[in-house]
Amino acid sequence: MVAPKDKRLAALGALFLACFFFASPCFAQEGGLPIPSGGIETATPGQVATALEILAVLTVLTLAPAIVVLTTGFTRVVVVLSFLRRALATQQLPPNTVIIGLSLFLTFAVMSPTYNEVWKKGVRPYLNRQIDQKTAVHRSLVPIRRFMFKHTREKDLRLFISLDEDLRGRTDLKRADIATLTLIPAFVLSEIRLAFWMGFLLYLPFLVIDMVVASVLMSMGMLMLPPMMVSVPFKLLLFVLVDGWYLVVGELLRGFA
């Protein structure tokens, strides 16, 4: 029986290793990447190709954090929390560090089952030398793709499929036929659309408070008093009384269930 703490650590390790696997398909060659020796003048064509391959892999690895972020629920979480802060009109409270940090930990909580599966089926067998790199990459992508397919709207997916000449117009498409590079932008587009819809719903009650406060101040002839100065305390009071952070975070987590 594995302790919950060990499972969380394993999932965290799987997250970083999956980042490595996912962002470096060039590493999926069976012998690894040998380091070329010698100068440019004396290098063989094979050594030059290997050097260029290493350069390409290192370039992709610099983008790996962004790639991993876009294949998780981080986009939805951070956009919704940013909308919430703007709706409350609290300027930089909570600060960006808190918003991003909370979004990361919520993302980790959401993605733990997925990356636990990545660790068990792809990363751990590869580290134990039970499978090769190509097999490890394929197995690691399976649960990640399943998560993205689950939260991708078919309309958005069809938009990016239409850009692929080989898949365009086909009615018998299976998930295995859709490339990961086609799935990722469709998934991100679906997440942004849903995040903006949730942000709009968050704005509504606070917009009503702004309108009521502005109307009351105008009726009292207090035109020189900024409505924002009066409405912010009422917004905070309402948000605290309904336990707003619990409701928002709970709804975000249930959205990924």
The 10s digit of each residue's pLDDT in 77-115 is 999 999 888 888 887 888 889 988 899 899 888 888 888
- What pLDDT does 207 receive? 86
212 contact partners, CB below 8 Å, separation of at least 6? none
Q: Is 145 exposed, middle or buried (0-12, 13-18, 19+ CB in 10 A)?
A: buried
pTM: 0.72
Torsion of Cα atoms, 221 then 227 then 229 then 231, to 10°: 120
Spatial separation of the C-alpha atoms in residues 56 and 182, rounded to whole Å = 21
Question: How far is Cα 182 from Cα 163, in angstroms, rounded to an integer?
Answer: 9
Q: Please compute the mean of the pLDDT values over residues 211-233 and round it to a whole number.
A: 78
Q: Residue 196 above 90 pLDDT?
A: yes
Q: Give the chain's mean pLDDT.
A: 77
Distance of CA 30 to the CA centre of its chain: 30
Tokens for 2, please give them: 């594995």
